[in-house]
Structure 1
Amino acid sequence: MNDRSKRRVRFLAAFVGLFAVVWFLWDTPFVYPVKLFVVLLHEISHGLATLATGGQILAIEVTPREGGLCRCPGGNAFLSLSAGYLGSLLWGGLMIWSAERFPTLSSWFSGVLAATVGGMTLLFAQQSFAVAFGLAFSAALLAVAWRASAAVNRVLLTALGLTSCLYAVLDIKSDILDRPELRSDARMLAELTGIPTLVWGGLWIAVALLFCFVLFRWAWRRA
């Protein structure tokens, strides 16, 4: 077995191991804070899309039951509603890409992520739980960025990115495909466009699966 084959075997083993940990601990307290973090990223994505298209953010909320809300009037409603799940994928992909593409700078990327989420929390979170969680998670992430090695931060970014991508897929299935009657992003987009909720759910989950496949193939080829 040549060196490249060995690297790919190690990459596959590490990826499968990390995926298994996230998957089997999905409904445990170990993954719960990360899931809340991903919910926060989801709501931030709605807000950023609204700001980018001329709207404003009034408030970002996250609940202990993994719910979230972004009060963001104005802007392009189509892009804002689409930005939640697709934003989760982009956040996840950006974390994994940065960790793999620039491993020695992983600590800096963790710090930038912490500062971004902390800043958005201070600016737009009004609900006490959202403020407390956003600042606590950002502080923990900043501490890891400051104190831990680049290798540790690389693993952390990969784990957070993987969870963000996985959460997008599972949440689309749970909230849209399994329960289309819920007032989800897809339901509101259906009301806006006249295209059924399940169509949007199917389209988004297809995009999510394709995105994850392309991301994995890119990481595999780099190994």
Structure 2
Amino acid sequence: MNIVDWAVETIDAFGGPGVAFLIALESIFPPIPSEVILPLAGVTAARGEHNLIVMYLWAAAGSMVGAYVLYGIGRALGAERLRRLVIRLPLVHVEDYDKSVRFMDRYGYAGVFFGRMVPGIRSLVSIPAGVYEMNLVRFSLLTLAGSGIWNAIFVGLGYGLGENWHVIEPYTDVISNVVYVIIVVIALWWGIRLLLRERRRRRLGLPDPDAEELRALDAEKD
């Protein structure tokens, strides 16, 4: 049984709670495509089996549950623990961590809102929000707003197309795949950039920016 068949059976069996469960799961495990789950919710509403507004509400509930789980993971990790981890990672320096803190301070709220509408990113954006202890009320409102727009688009498409929802499925897959490729390319570019930076540092004989902090951490253990 593929993911689509499983999603159909789950929604048929449990209705709105099934949609919430699938969307929450999708928020935690990005390979499960909300671009398929949400139109299916709209299709069941178009058939008259469920109310469209109720489907919207259940989808929103699932988005919030998944977001809170990942936010909690980030909050449990914490900024200080992450900083200690970054210091010990090869290629990455503590200055990179400090830049990420400044970035979150400046663009964190916009990132949470717009990130909810980007496949792949929409799940992961909750973790840094938790790590940097974003205000929970603002996080909740931004998540609800961003996810609400995303959910409304795809549930609405499913509702409008009815039984013909599968017409858009190949296109949603293409869009998602393109976004994933872009993310991979950016990750590779970032990794190569760090590698070249490290090679340049060693060639110039520059000191390790993290050396002093590493010594301080080792001293704390002793």
| TM-score normalised according to structure 2 size | 0.29
* Higher RCO structure, 1 or 2 (CA under 8 Å, sep 6+): 2
Which structure has the larger Rg over C-alpha atoms? 2
Structure holding more helix per residue: 2
